[in-house]
């Protein structure tokens, strides 16, 4: 007794079919997407405020997976290129643009004091 989908091929039928050629199986799949819509009152659904900004700040503070260092006079500031690129078109171009350098590991910043750089760098 066969269990499962009723339209399975038996092995002998599959081996002699046009679907198996040169040890390759040719399959045609049709995928359907069902959209469901929620009808009714949206009252009572509480969506908490996003804490993504806090999560990114915590990641920055922990220095986990940092891949770029900003040298400002005698101080260094570690960061994440992807997060900077997401927040700034200038950083996106510098790190990932046509003339950017994704392998860049250090940026020297001149003409700014470290404490001012830190304030600007941590701006939310």
8 A C-beta contact, residue 70 and residue 76: yes
What's the pLDDT score for residue 39?
Answer: 61
- Domains: count for the chain: 1
Beta-carbon contacts of 75 under 8 Å, excluding residues fewer than 6 positions away, are 114, 117
User: Is residue 86 included in any domain, yes or no?
Assistant: yes
> What are the 10-residue block averages of pLDDT along the chain, 124 residues in total?
59 79 78 69 74 86 91 94 89 86 89 90 71
CATH number at residue 85: 3.30.710.10
User: Is residue 42 included in any domain, yes or no?
Assistant: no
DSSP 43-84: TT--PPPP-HHHHHHHHHHHTTT--EEEEETTEEEEE-HHHH
Please give the structure tokens belonging to residue 124: 């939310």
The neighbouring-strand residues paired with 77 are 70
The neighbouring-strand residues paired with 76 are 71
What's the pLDDT score for residue 106?
Answer: 93
Q: Which domain holds residue 94?
A: 60-121
User: Is residue 81 included in any domain, yes or no?
Assistant: yes
CA distances from 99 to 11, 66, 84, 85, 93 (A): 56, 22, 17, 14, 7
What's the pLDDT score for residue 1?
Answer: 45
What's the pLDDT score for residue 60?
Answer: 85
8 A C-beta contact, residue 63 and residue 80: no
User: Is residue 34 included in any domain, yes or no?
Assistant: no
């Amino acid at each position: 007794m066969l269990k499962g989908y009723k339209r399975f091929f038996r092995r002998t039928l599959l081996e002699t079919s046009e679907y198996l050629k040169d040890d390759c199986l040719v399959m045609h799949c049709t995928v359907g997407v069902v959209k469901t819509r929620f009808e009714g009152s949206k009252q009572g659904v509480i969506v908490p405020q996003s804490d993504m900004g806090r999560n990114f700040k915590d990641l920055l503070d922990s220095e986990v997976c940092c891949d770029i260092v900003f040298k400002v006079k005698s101080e260094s500031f570690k960061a994440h290129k992807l997060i900077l690129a997401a927040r700034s078109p200038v950083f996106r171009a510098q790190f990932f643009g046509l003339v950017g350098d994704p392998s860049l590991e250090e940026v020297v910043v001149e003409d700014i004091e470290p404490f001012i750089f830190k304030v600007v760098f941590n701006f939310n």
